[in-house]
Amino acid sequence: MNRRKFSVIALIALFISFLGAPLVTRADEKTPEGELRVGMEAGYAPFNWTQKDDRNGAVRIQGDKAYAGGYDVQMAKKIADKMNRKLVVVKTEWDGLLPALQSGKIDAIIAGMSPTAERRKEVDFSDPYYESQLVIVTRKDTDYAKATSIKDFAGAKITAQLSTFHYDVIPQIPDVKKQEAMDNFPAMRVALESGTIDGYVSERPEGVTAESVNPDLKMVEFDKADGFQTNPEDVQVSVGMRKGDPEMAQVNQILAGISQDDRVEVMDQAIKDQPATDETQNSSGKKENVFVRILKQNGSMFLRGTGMTLLLAIVGTTVGTLIGLLVGVFRTIPESDNSAKRGLQKVFGWLLNAYIEIFRGTPMIVQSAVIYYGIAMAFGIDLNRTAAALFIVSINTGAYMSEIVRGGIFAVDQGQFEAAHAIGMTHGQTMRKVVLPQVLRNILPATGNELVINIKDTSVLSIISVSELFFQGKSAAGTNYMFFQTYFIICVIYFVLTFTATRILRAVEKKMDGPSAYVRLDDVDVAVGEDK
């Protein structure tokens, strides 16, 4: 009996260790010699964007079949060439760039980032490689489009990107209705087009792009006296590197060799090359349906994102359910008569309770950042992104499934436990042959619900650069500027995935339930009697 109890404990520990094994395959690995890993959003045209091929000097994104193009990419190529290094673009959410740099996931940030005083506390910045000016992007059909001063935006609802100095200058507008900061530019453009906001603060290159590809938007520029008052460093764009990085001097030397005329030429070319400026007509000259155009341009990205989303959701739910079953079985083990084993059992039970409470009580996006970036910063372990994502979804789901399994076990009548024990079955036999088959049926609807939740919640894993469906959709929207249409397509894909998963699980439930109507014995007896 005791041996069976602790074999379950050993199995849980072995399973968790096995699950974590793939995550440390690159432990303490440094940047491969000859590579320069550069982080960027690949969704902030014309500084950087995502495209499906390598035209116009685009560079393949690490771990993806898509390519990154734009001004930042071209400047990064110049720096990498002079350093005799191969440029590797790591597509990363804006909020994940600093953690990625500090944890060693990337060697530099070249993503249109300004060297503000706050950021200088965390990372070192090079000399500027571009200098811009602040503008406000608004709708062309409003009075704000005729503004010549920031004072003309008095009373307007204005926002800017989260974690940028753009958001800090908004109070300079008199009586402004400062809105909550938004995560990225695609989100702000959607809000602007929908009328949720009246404008957002941006830089001139992005404003030129927005105005050129969307006739409904207007970039408002200001004279120096009538515009935002900023420090020179606020409108500069620099390369971010880790504190004390010895290669900073070399980067500054390379930037010094690029003339101002060359920089302007590269930016002008980037504005022309961005995918959003492609012709909207097909070869026959007829206007092409916008949804068809988006699917043609980004269909392969959406398919890869869908595949990654399904992989994370299915594997995460399956492994999480196994974790839940193991934890549920452990919780039913009677206390041992041996004091030492009983103490060990209580300690392990306390650890399991702590695991469940922590992972049920914190958002998965926070867990992702802590596990992926925190482990690298604290222990120097470089986790594989996909393996880390699978691990995160699995243990998060396992915490919820543990409670679901516990409820499923309680749903089994106590008399069945007693009856099994009365005929001499051990606890392990009772669980395997009597309880768990019923538990699996009881928890199937809740398990299906977890699968649907995981299909949707994998979107938060973009913070650790996992290119799932939502991340790919956001990148496409940031490139083609067709926000409603792109997000509508993503919405339809998510619905198809969740609807299909729900129907499949309903079919499995019916299969487990067996025939809907059984022939009763008394009915058979009556039928036999009549035949006689």
What domains are there in the chain, each with its CATH number? 2-24+293-513 (1.10.3720.10), 35-123+239-277 (3.40.190.10), 131-236 (3.40.190.10)
pTM: predicted TM-score of the whole model, two decimal places: 0.73
> Is residue 408 within 8 Å of residue 278, measured between CB atoms?
no
Peptide bond into 46 cis (omega under 30): yes
Alpha-carbon span 441 to 516, nearest angstrom:
15
Alpha-carbon span 48 to 287, nearest angstrom:
28
Alpha-carbon span 105 to 97, nearest angstrom:
9
What band does 514 get if pLDDT is binned at 50, 70 and 90?
low
Q: Kindly state the percentage of the chain with pLDDT values over 70.
A: 88
Q: Which helix (H) or strand (E) holds 124?
A: strand 124-125
Query: What 3-state DSSP class applies to 136?
Result: strand
Alpha helices in 103-236 (DSSP H): 117-120, 165-168, 185-194, 204-213
pLDDT in tens, 91-109: 998 888 999 999 999 999 9
Alpha-carbon span 1 to 13, nearest angstrom:
19
Return the pLDDT at 410. 81
Alpha-carbon span 252 to 234, nearest angstrom:
18
Return the pLDDT at 515. 65
Return the pLDDT at 7. 46
Q: Is the pLDDT of residue 116 over 60?
A: yes
The tokens for 360 are 């049920």
Alpha-carbon span 184 to 334, nearest angstrom:
53
Query: What 3-state DSSP class applies to 63?
Result: coil
pLDDT, average across residues 82-86: 95
- Environment class of 264 (CB within 10 Å of its CB; exposed 0-12, middle 13-18, buried 19+): exposed
What band does 434 get if pLDDT is binned at 50, 70 and 90?
confident
Return the pLDDT at 453. 94
Q: Is beta strand 177-178 parallel, antiparallel or unpaired with respect to 157-159? A: parallel
> Is residue 403 within 8 Å of residue 496, measured between CB atoms?
no
pLDDT in tens, 349-375: 899 999 999 999 999 999 998 999 988
Tell me which residue of 83, 113, 77, 73 sits closest to 95, measured CA to CA. 113
What band does 504 get if pLDDT is binned at 50, 70 and 90?
very high
pLDDT, average across residues 330-334: 79
Return the pLDDT at 82. 95
What band does 522 get if pLDDT is binned at 50, 70 and 90?
low
- Select the more confidently predicted residue: 18 or 134: 134
Q: At what angle do helices 339-361 and 2-20 cross, to 10 degrees?
A: 40
Alpha-carbon span 21 to 514, nearest angstrom:
40
Q: Give 23's DSSP letter.
A: G
The tokens for 242 are 């880790």
Q: What count of other Cβ atoms lies within 10 Å of the Cβ of residue 521?
A: 8
